Amino acid sequence: MQREEKQLEATLHAILNRVNDLKSAIQALITKLETEYETINWPTFLDNYAILSGHLTGLSKILQSEVAPSLRSVVVLPLQLGCERDEALARLTEGRVPACTHDLVPDLLRTKPEPQAEQRLQQFNHKASTLSHDTAQKQVAQFTKVISHVWEIISKGREDWEGESMRSAGMQPTHSIADTHALVTAVGTGKGLRPGMPSIVPQGVGAPGMGPSRGPAPQLGPAAPAMPKAPSAIKTNIKAANQIHPYQR
């Protein structure tokens, strides 16, 4: 008998701790919804909801544990009813239950739903039992279609939100396709370069004051757009190179 009492006391203590943790998590979530409703985002809400789910899972494990005694055999009864304020009860319930009155006790110790809720539940059960198989299948198919549509909308919104969050987090692209094309065009064809900039002498063309170059003339690519040419002395040297061929003897 003493062993069962100790097990019951330990189980109640574990349940009380888990319920207090669950209550604190609920209060934190309500506070966030009331004070941070403009800045709270969906992942933060899901994190807080996951904490609630974890506390509920832990509470169910304690109740389903084989070591814990069966609480069905334990009866909770109010020892005294009255309309006067009970300070110990108010302190124990954090001010939610100031007195153990005749109207409050049935709701606190109720093991069945309220009469109105129980009546509505019976109506729903009766309506569900009277449906035909074809009608039920049509409603299930329609409900599945609505769920699939909502899932697609949520998935698309999630992808858009993740893209926006990545851009807002500073993960900007490190290159620009337009700038890359402009740079390749400028290097290959000279497009966009200023006329007064120094030009690059192709291989095989002699510079001023130097001898004729040896080797074939370079093959030029596609014709570049017409650009004004700066005057230079290369033309004179090119003519001289054409008149005297190094292999003419």
Among 191, 218, 184, smallest CA distance to 202 is for 218
Gyration radius (Cα) of the chain, Å: 43
User: Per the structure block, which two tokens stand in for 16?
Assistant: 């009380």
Q: Looking at the structure, tell me whether residues 69 and 1 fall in a common domain.
A: yes
Q: Looking at the structure, tell me whether residues 36 and 98 fall in a common domain.
A: no
In a domain, 136, yes or no: yes
Q: Looking at the structure, tell me whether residues 92 and 25 fall in a common domain.
A: no
**pLDDT at 208 (0 to 100):** 47
The CATH code of the domain that includes 52 is 1.20.58.1710
Q: How many domains does the chain have?
A: 3
**pLDDT at 244 (0 to 100):** 54
* Structure-token match 């304690």, residue found: 62
CA-to-CA separations, 81 to 8, 44, 91, 100, 102, in angstroms, rounded: 26, 44, 17, 5, 7
8-state DSSP, 224: P
CA dist., res. 53 & res. 57, Å (int): 6
In a domain, 65, yes or no: yes
For the chain, the distance separating the N- and C-terminal CA atoms, rounded to the nearest angstrom, is: 128
In a domain, 5, yes or no: yes
Question: Using an 8 Å Cβ cutoff, are 14 and 62 in contact?
Answer: yes
pTM for the model: 0.40
For residue 86, give its domain range.
Answer: 80-113
Residues 6+ apart with CB under 8 A from 55: 18, 21, 22, 25
**pLDDT at 37 (0 to 100):** 81
**pLDDT at 142 (0 to 100):** 93
Q: What is the pLDDT along the chain (249 residues), one digit of tens a residue?
A: 677 788 888 888 888 899 989 989 998 888 888 888 888 888 888 888 899 999 999 888 888 876 666 777 777 777 778 888 888 888 888 788 888 888 888 877 777 788 888 899 999 888 888 888 888 889 899 999 999 999 999 988 888 887 776 666 665 566 678 888 888 888 888 787 776 555 454 454 444 444 444 445 444 445 545 555 555 544 544 444 455 555 555
